[in-house]
A and B are shown apart, each in its own frame.
Chain A
Amino acid sequence: MPSHNTLEESTRSTAHDDDSRPMQLTLNVWRQAGPTEPGRFVTYQHQNVSEHMSFLEMLDVLNEDLILRGDEPIAYDHDCREGICGMCGMMINGIAHGPQRATATCQLHMRHFKDGDTITIEPWRARAFPIVKDLVVRRGSLDRIVEAGGYISVNTGAAPEANNIPVPKPNADRSFEAAQCIQCGACVAACPNASAMLFLAAKAGHLGLLPQGQPERYRRTVDMVAEHDKQGFGACTNMGECEAVCPKEISIDFIARLNRDLIRAKLTNPSGY
């Protein structure tokens, strides 16, 4: 299991000081020109890193230098930079989203690194996530799983009055915990089997814990698992790496729940859905 810092350990309680010296870092970054090109690590000396920068801002500054030097900047995905859109993600020293627990790459700050550190940066690596360029991968395979059944079939306009569907608060809260998944793919990147089972289980848990999700509960589970396998994700062997890197701290208990539903589906309707 990767070792994580907790928030408390690694932050200061003093007021903001303005006189922090720039850090110097050595970066080993995976560069790959295109999907079929061979990739390799390229080493960069980064002389001008402030501890207040986010990890992506540190790369922004490096990219500005690369552009002015006439090199191509490092390609990486990012968008909201608030840890919610799930667009960003890279392996940082072998850990998906880096050393800070419950933190997406965009929310990781350089104060968690030390002057003189060497940092290795790689893309998500999984058969179902082919590399596009440098640190950018395709994650459409996750969308395919949802398209296979990760929804409740209700047409617009067909909904009953909202409070006609009471949901016990503990169920609603538990459902919400699963629904926090940002579909970043860190669970797949961290898994030795490149399994997307935590992602899938989160979707199945989110919908399956609600009364609205009951009519399609077992069909949904079976269909999503079939699509998961078809997309080339590996099988889950309960390693727990996914839970350790999940920026939303989604519990692998949801995988246990998924497995129960899957067995129940096979037993109650062996001919399939």
Chain B
Amino acid sequence: MAIDSTTVAPPRIAPTMPRTRPFTEAPPDTLDSKIPEGPIDRKWELRQFEYKLVNPANKRRFKIIVVGSGLAGGAAAAALAELGFNVDCFCYQDSPRRAHSIAAQGGINAAKNYRNDGDSVFRLFYDTVKGGDFRAREANVYRLAELSTNIIDQCVAQGVPFAREYGGLLDTRSFGGAQVSRTFYARGQTGQQLLVGVYQSMCRQIGHGRIRMNPRTEMLDVVVADGRARGIVTRDMLTGEIRSHVGDVVVMATGGYSNVFYLSTNAKGCNVTATWRAHKRGAFFGNPCYTQIHPTCIPVSGDYQSKLTLMSESLRNDGRVWVPKTRGDKRSPAEIPESERDYFLERRYPSYGNLAPRDIASRAAKAVCDEELGVGPGGLGVYLDFSDAMRRLGVASIRERYGNLFDMYQRITGENPYEVPMRIYPAVHYTMGGLWVDYNLESTIPGLFVGGEANFSDHGANRLGASALMQGLADGYFVLPASVTDYLGRTKLDAVDENHPAFMDVEREAEHRVRRLLEIDGRRTVDSFHRELGKLMWDYCGMARNRAGLEHALSQIPAIREEFWRNVKVPGSAGDLNQSAEQANRVADYLEFAELMVTDALHREESCGGHFREESQSEDGEALRDDERFAYVAAWQYNGDGVPILHKEPLTFDNVHLATRSYK
């Protein structure tokens, strides 16, 4: 069988002389994160009191534009409409209920302490800051932990069918990076159930006429008029119509950028366009190099592979990870005796074993595959073996725990994991980086608020399991409704309409760009460029990064981009449903964004969380942070044709002691 070119180990790049720095640095103290004064546990309360309110009778005079209908965007749209504002909501799917939040499997954290096992808001806060490898803002994380309990209340009231115990009360389970049981779940589809809750709340407001929903409508750009975000330009994906939407404030909750790697666990439509265009209009981009790799995904099977599928990491509770000790061992796994297997996680991390955190387990798998010990097509896989657990607990017990995951694996690979070990390999899964926002979730463009995965705010350099859903809903239900109301209450907005020159210009640019993409009529498909970029990013800006590789990537991206604009072939017309044109528009933005991501990875000469620089590791291969030099958020300013400008937001830790993570 043909093997994907992305499954071949990258060629080693010889170190070159460091070139001139691909960025410049702003003077210190350019960023105001607007963290409230006061002790950590009172900051949000005090800030809410400072917030301006809007008279109920006046709320209907405002129009709020919300882009994205996932947990953050959908919840913000519903909550703002409930307050009485007019909301225009946009999504590229045909229904708001399909946003990619739907794919989350595991659960949602909340500091309810229902187990009486020592959980508290402070502990959830502490675990999240530590899990993020001390690269998140303390005040934001504390607020997140505080709001976590309200989220569960809200979701239950909406009818989210969480798992329950026989007494009728809510069940919880443990998840990676925590020693308490605080994860609420709905079998393997917590994301879908929470999103349906959000969707129902939206539908109620749509029915009441307070949300106007625009499905199959893709945001192409944000419009900044007189220094404030005042609307967006969209393309109707069914008719091709490009038009402006004017509002008083813009909320973006447009998700992450994992698809810069082409292969990821994200939905095919997930894209960086909204955040990248906002960046080009003045919103700083925070920590773009922080990407998360998930260790338990189904490996690539061929060069036609279109996406990767994640399996819940709960599998590692009972599965043992191993590879053959001998290179090129072609025997079937059952024929390889115990003594010739390397259970490398158990060997390297005796106390956490197969349950080592995501980034550590992923890198260890990559390391053995780099040594050509991997299994399956292209040697890019390791075994996840349940035979010991099945012997110990019985097949029925394993079926009960993991039956749906085993079925999914079998459906995709055609192999029966009850009889042969699963093969797994890490895949890109989540991006911690995103648009820089202050404590109020406002970006550096006044009036542009950013929520959910699209902002950089709460997870630092690594997100803990079951925290993404928590952050999306905290932003959407509780933070944005308060901070957006405050913005509208304290800001004097000039009258602006579609004929404002800023709208006319952006609309014209968007039309011109789509037309240009269609006119190139070259010889390569959009997908071929996306794959080429993805392979480059995975090889040199993926699980492990080094200076030479990153500089190599930085030199290659402009060439791919140049060829794209010369040689891409986008069939069809601009005036109807044209999925190639949609994709071309997104890939064009990835080709620009990738350069910033690599630049960020190159400048951060330390290893932290999901960002592993080979130059910054201990003798036994563990990540080494450099708090002296890098305890800051890197917020990048777009600078036209010049190199990007780096702004630093220093991170201080007053409540959590800066310490090295250890899972040995």
Q: Are B157 and A165 in contact (CB under 8 A)?
A: yes
- What is the CA–CA distance of A54 and B306 in the complex, to the nearest angstrom? 9
Which residues of the other chain, B, contact A7 by a CB distance below 8 angstroms? Answer: 407, 410-411
Q: Are B415 and A156 in contact (CB under 8 A)?
A: no
Minimum C-beta distance from B233 to chain A (A):
22
Q: Are B577 and A11 in contact (CB under 8 A)?
A: no
- What is the CA–CA distance of A259 and B385 in the complex, to the nearest angstrom? 47
Q: Are B102 and A80 in contact (CB under 8 A)?
A: yes
Q: Are A52 and B95 in contact (CB under 8 A)?
A: no
Minimum C-beta distance from B536 to chain A (A):
20
- The 7 closest A-B CB pairs, nearest first, are A166-B168, A151-B200, A159-B157, A159-B153, A176-B161, A156-B79, A13-B416
Cβ of A77 within 8 Å of any chain B Cβ, yes or no, is: yes
13 CB contacts below 8 A, A to B, read A14-B332, A73-B579, A81-B306, A86-B95, A86-B98, A133-B576, A156-B75, A160-B157, A163-B114, A165-B156, A165-B157, A179-B161, A206-B159
Cβ of B652 within 8 Å of any chain A Cβ, yes or no, is: no
Indicate whether A52 sits within 8 Å of B103 (C-beta atoms), given known contacts A12-B414, A15-B333, A81-B307.
no
Interface residues in chain B, defined as those with a beta carbon under 8 Å from any beta carbon in chain A: 1-2, 75, 78-79, 82, 93-98, 100, 102-103, 112, 114, 150, 152-159, 161-170, 186-187, 189, 191-193, 196, 199-201, 203-204, 206-207, 213, 215, 238, 267-269, 301-302, 304-307, 309, 332-333, 376-377, 407-408, 410-416, 419-420, 423, 477-478, 481, 523, 525, 527-528, 569, 571-572, 576-577, 579-580
Indicate whether A18 sits within 8 Å of B377 (C-beta atoms), given known contacts A67-B580, A71-B571.
yes
Which residues of the other chain, A, contact B411 by a CB distance below 8 angstroms? Answer: 7, 11, 100, 103, 107, 109
A-B pairs with beta carbons under 8 A, tally: 251
Which residues in chain A, 134-192, are within 8 Å of chain B measured between CB atoms? 136, 138-140, 142-143, 146-163, 165-169, 172-173, 175-176, 179-180, 182-183
Which partner residue on chain B sits nearest A145 by CB separation? B203
Which residues of the other chain, B, contact A136 by a CB distance below 8 angstroms? Answer: 577
Q: Are A156 and B154 in contact (CB under 8 A)?
A: yes
- What is the CA–CA distance of A133 and B528 in the complex, to the nearest angstrom? 24
Which residues in chain A, 1-46, are within 8 Å of chain B measured between CB atoms? 7, 11-16, 18-20, 33-34
- What is the CA–CA distance of A20 and B97 in the complex, to the nearest angstrom? 39
Cβ of A121 within 8 Å of any chain B Cβ, yes or no, is: no
| Interchain CB contact (< 8 A) of A152 among B82, B200, B579 | B200
| Interchain CB contact (< 8 A) of A212 among B93, B158, B193, B419 | B158
Which residues of the other chain, A, contact B155 by a CB distance below 8 angstroms? Answer: 162
Interface segment, one of A56-64, A229-237, A250-258, A264-272: A56-64
Cβ of A84 within 8 Å of any chain B Cβ, yes or no, is: yes
Q: Are B98 and A52 in contact (CB under 8 A)?
A: no
| Interchain CB contact (< 8 A) of B571 among A12, A61, A73, A183 | A73
| Interchain CB contact (< 8 A) of A133 among B161, B193, B577 | B577
Q: Are A84 and B415 in contact (CB under 8 A)?
A: no
Which residues of the other chain, A, contact B200 by a CB distance below 8 angstroms? Answer: 146, 150-152
Q: Are B204 and A162 in contact (CB under 8 A)?
A: no
Which residues of the other chain, B, contact A57 by a CB distance below 8 angstroms? Answer: 304-306
Q: Are B94 and A163 in contact (CB under 8 A)?
A: no
Which residues of the other chain, A, contact B163 by a CB distance below 8 angstroms? Answer: 172
- Report, as a range, how many residues of chain A touch the other chain: 35 or more
Minimum C-beta distance from A222 to chain B (A):
15
- What is the CA–CA distance of A66 and B309 in the complex, to the nearest angstrom? 27
Q: Are A150 and B169 in contact (CB under 8 A)?
A: no
Minimum C-beta distance from A142 to chain B (A):
7
Q: Are A139 and B156 in contact (CB under 8 A)?
A: no
Q: Are B420 and A14 in contact (CB under 8 A)?
A: yes
- What is the CA–CA distance of A266 and B98 in the complex, to the nearest angstrom? 34
- What is the CA–CA distance of A80 and B304 in the complex, to the nearest angstrom? 16
- What is the CA–CA distance of A67 and B584 in the complex, to the nearest angstrom? 13
Not counting A12-B414, A151-B201, a sample of 6 additional A-B residue pairs whose C-beta atoms are within 8 angstroms of each other reads A16-B423, A18-B377, A107-B411, A138-B94, A147-B204, A152-B200
Cβ of A53 within 8 Å of any chain B Cβ, yes or no, is: yes
- What is the CA–CA distance of A268 and B112 in the complex, to the nearest angstrom? 41
Which residues of the other chain, B, contact A168 by a CB distance below 8 angstroms? Answer: 164, 168
Q: Are B103 and A84 in contact (CB under 8 A)?
A: yes
Minimum C-beta distance from A172 to chain B (A):
4
Indicate whether A167 sits within 8 Å of B79 (C-beta atoms), given known contacts A13-B420, A67-B571, A86-B98.
no
Which residues of the other chain, A, contact B170 by a CB distance below 8 angstroms? Answer: 162-163
Which residues of the other chain, B, contact A33 by a CB distance below 8 angstroms? Answer: 576
Which residues of the other chain, B, contact A77 by a CB distance below 8 angstroms? Answer: 94
Cβ of A117 within 8 Å of any chain B Cβ, yes or no, is: no
Minimum C-beta distance from A267 to chain B (A):
25
| Interchain CB contact (< 8 A) of B162 among A86, A146, A172 | A172
- What is the CA–CA distance of A20 and B2 in the complex, to the nearest angstrom? 10
Which residues of the other chain, A, contact B157 by a CB distance below 8 angstroms? Answer: 152, 154, 158-160, 162, 165, 212
Q: Are A151 and B571 in contact (CB under 8 A)?
A: no
Q: Are B103 and A82 in contact (CB under 8 A)?
A: yes
Cβ of A87 within 8 Å of any chain B Cβ, yes or no, is: yes
Which residues of the other chain, B, contact A163 by a CB distance below 8 angstroms? Answer: 112, 114, 169-170
Which residues of the other chain, A, contact B96 by a CB distance below 8 angstroms? Answer: 143
- What is the CA–CA distance of A76 and B153 in the complex, to the nearest angstrom? 39
| Interchain CB contact (< 8 A) of B1 among A18, A149, A153 | A18
Cβ of A94 within 8 Å of any chain B Cβ, yes or no, is: no
- What is the CA–CA distance of A56 and B305 in the complex, to the nearest angstrom? 10
- What is the CA–CA distance of A168 and B114 in the complex, to the nearest angstrom? 17
Which residues in chain A, 194-228, are within 8 Å of chain B measured between CB atoms? 206-207, 210, 212-213
Interface centre among B150, B201, B528, B571, by most chain A C-beta atoms within 10 angstroms, is B571
A 70-95 binary contact with B (CB < 8 Å = 1; else 0): 11110101111110111100000000
Q: Are B161 and A79 in contact (CB under 8 A)?
A: no
Minimum C-beta distance from A212 to chain B (A):
5
Q: Are A79 and B269 in contact (CB under 8 A)?
A: yes
Cβ of A50 within 8 Å of any chain B Cβ, yes or no, is: yes
Which residues in chain A, 92-115, are within 8 Å of chain B measured between CB atoms? 100, 103, 107, 109, 111
- What is the CA–CA distance of A162 and B414 in the complex, to the nearest angstrom? 41
Which residues of the other chain, B, contact A61 by a CB distance below 8 angstroms? Answer: 304
Q: Are B525 and A52 in contact (CB under 8 A)?
A: no
Q: Are B215 and A140 in contact (CB under 8 A)?
A: yes
Q: Are B168 and A169 in contact (CB under 8 A)?
A: yes
Which residues of the other chain, A, contact B102 by a CB distance below 8 angstroms? Answer: 80, 84-85
Which partner residue on chain B sits nearest A86 by CB separation? B98
| Interchain CB contact (< 8 A) of A53 among B112, B187, B302 | B302
Q: Are B306 and A13 in contact (CB under 8 A)?
A: no
Which partner residue on chain B sits nearest A184 by CB separation? B98
Which partner residue on chain B sits nearest A209 by CB separation? B161
Which residues of the other chain, A, contact B420 by a CB distance below 8 angstroms? Answer: 13-15
| Interchain CB contact (< 8 A) of B82 among A51, A155, A172 | A155
Q: Are B412 and A84 in contact (CB under 8 A)?
A: no
Indicate whether A132 sits within 8 Å of B412 (C-beta atoms), given known contacts A7-B407, A64-B525, A81-B268.
no
Q: Are B267 and A85 in contact (CB under 8 A)?
A: yes
- What is the CA–CA distance of A147 and B96 in the complex, to the nearest angstrom? 12
